[in-house]
Amino acid sequence: MPQNLNIEHLTIAAHLLIAALAASHALLTKRDPRSAWGWIAVCWLFPLAGAALYFVFGINRIYTRARRSVGATPALTPTQLRELPAPLQRGAGGDNERLVELLRIGQAMTGREMTFGNRIEPLYNGEQAYPAMLAAIASARYSIDFVTYIYRRGVIGKQFAAALSYAQGRGVEVRILLDGVTDLYYLPRTSLLLTEHDLKPRLFLPLRFLPPMLHINLRNHRKLLLVDEKVAFTGGMNIADHHLMQRPKGTRVQDLHFRIEGPAVQQMMQVFAEDWRFVTGEKSPPPRAVSVPTGSAAARVITDGPNEDLDKLLMVLLGALAAAHHRVWIMTPYFIPNPQLIAALQSAALRGVDVSIILPAKSDQPWLNWAAHNYLGPLLQRHVRVYMQPPPFAHTKLFLVDDRYMQVGSANLDNRSLRLNFELVVEAIDARLVENLAAHFARVRSSSREVSLAEIERRSLPARFRDSVFWLFSPYL
């Protein structure tokens, strides 16, 4: 009996100590009091298991800046930019002041200056994106840097593995980063496919027990291919057969990717170099190539993630919504907006801005669509227009403001992208490109079904209950 009492006392003491440490960590690090209260309760109410759950799912910050291979440009104060740079003054007209505001907040948040003379080409679906990416790999002379979130075996996956392996065989330095958690999703693992081709992929935050690394929630969601430091591909497209719209059968996923040349590529190189050093500890060599202006787009890279970049993208989004004058057009596959984003969208619509959001009618993750239903009512009440795009599932991310400003990249408008994932977005100012993408948006909107407030309010009780349950867990989806 005394031995049993000693074990019980030790267990209670361990629970009290570990729960106190975990609860204190939540108290000191959580920004939302509701989140802090929830995790403190879990830590105390579930002996030992609560602290373990907090360790795996609740600690959503890591620090990468101390290991940066290239120091970030010092953040600029908002007052340092007072007028539109010369390359953007032509054609600005009445947009001058609003563009200055957009440039100012982007500089202040990212510490990166807007670059000029970029060429940005949209690539629709795998039929346009994959051949362009494979051609760039085939033409590489000395370097290929590649990071992606999902890389599936299949026809396309094997083509990329073979192309990367062949480039490495002819002396090109090939560096590959895969998300550590996502690499476990599909068996056999993609990292093994690449290893079979004599490539050496590295994993971003892989799960392991010794030493412990269990950041299940923190994922590198970036999609980036850099070739010879001159051309980059980024956007929302993963490496998988389902992005081919002309495939005869199987699931198909619509998406949009971009080919970029010009000075903005240097900023993307910096992002990859930071991720590479964080994973491997290896410092990237100085750039060999000097970017030459090749187009008319002004562009800047925005990074966001659960590190020192937390909330940077959200702040730029809020600034862009506040600066919008007549149009905000959004296309996103997952829509779980936080209260600040909801308020900014409502405010823009109430000012008379055409705020239109296109969502997929059928999602690859239906629980996210269900949760999103609970956010639509308050937006529709304030004149935000919502459309459901018919299948196949649209994974496109697009953010257009007025006639010249846009954002494209890997981020969705949900809590995972804005709080938990490492994301890469390119903001750009280019009237011709925005006109091109706005025409695409308008075509999709014309074939989509508009959602009415009455439709949301008429949902059956079982549907409302289902939607509300998933809405309750939306911060963690």
Over residues 110-143, the pLDDT tens digits come to: 889 899 999 999 999 999 999 999 999 999 999 9
3-state helix, strand, coil in the chain (%, to 5): 45, 20, 35
Q: What is the pLDDT, as a whole number, of residue 418?
A: 87
**Could you give the dihedral angle defined by the CA atoms of residues 451, 456, 459 and 462, in that order, rounded to the nearest 10 degrees?**
110
Amino acid identity for residue 293 in this structure: P
CA 227 distance to own-chain centroid:
21
| pTM, 2 dp | 0.87
Q: What is the pLDDT, as a whole number, of residue 71?
A: 40
Q: What is the pLDDT, as a whole number, of residue 292?
A: 74
Helix (H, G, I), strand (E, B) or coil at 306: coil
| Of 172, 448, 458, 196, nearest in space to 329 by CA | 448
Amino acid identity for residue 233 in this structure: F
Q: Whole-angstrom Cα distance, residue 55 to residue 49?
A: 10
Angle between helices 96-110 and 312-323 (to 10 degrees): 170
Q: Which residues contact 76 (CB under 8 A, 6 or more apart)?
A: 107, 108, 111, 113
Amino acid identity for residue 273 in this structure: A
Could you tell me the maximum CA-CA distance found in the chain, to the nearest angstrom? Answer: 86
Q: What is the pLDDT, as a whole number, of residue 416?
A: 84
Q: Which residues contact 434 (CB under 8 A, 6 or more apart)?
A: 400, 403, 404, 405, 406
Q: What is the pLDDT, as a whole number, of residue 34?
A: 64
Q: Which helix (H) or strand (E) holds 227?
A: strand 224-227
**228 neighbors 142 (Cβ within 8 angstroms):** yes
**78 neighbors 108 (Cβ within 8 angstroms):** yes
Number of Cβ atoms within 10 Å of the Cβ of 350: 12
DSSP letters for 359-411: EESS-SSHHHHHHHHHHHHHHHHTT-EEEEEPSSEE---EEEETTTEEEEES-
| Of 89, 85, 123, 128, nearest in space to 103 by CA | 85
User: What is the per-residue pLDDT across 386-410, written as a single tens digit (0 to 9) for each?
Assistant: 999 999 999 999 999 999 999 999 9
Q: What is the pLDDT, as a whole number, of residue 73?
A: 44
Q: In the Cβ-directed half-sphere of 228, how many Cα atoms lie within 13 Å?
A: 16
The conformational region for residue 205 under phi > 0 = left, psi -120 to 50 = alpha, else beta, is: left
56 CB-contact burial (10 Å; exposed 0-12 / middle 13-18 / buried 19+): middle
254 forms beta bridges with 394
Q: What is the pLDDT, as a whole number, of residue 385?
A: 97
Number of Cβ atoms within 10 Å of the Cβ of 142: 13
| Of 398, 114, 408, 350, nearest in space to 232 by CA | 408
**Could you give the dihedral angle defined by the CA atoms of residues 128, 134, 138 and 140, in that order, rounded to the nearest 10 degrees?**
90
Handedness of CA 40, 46, 47, 52 (dihedral sign): negative
Q: Whole-angstrom Cα distance, residue 184 to residue 197?
A: 19
Contacts of 12-16 with C-beta under 8 Å, sequence gap 24+, read 14/48, 15/47, 15/48
The conformational region for residue 34 under phi > 0 = left, psi -120 to 50 = alpha, else beta, is: alpha
Mean pLDDT, each 10-residue run in order, the chain (477 residues): 63 77 76 70 76 73 50 50 64 66 85 92 97 98 96 94 97 96 87 94 84 75 96 96 86 95 95 94 82 86 88 93 95 94 97 97 90 93 96 95 95 88 95 96 97 94 90 73
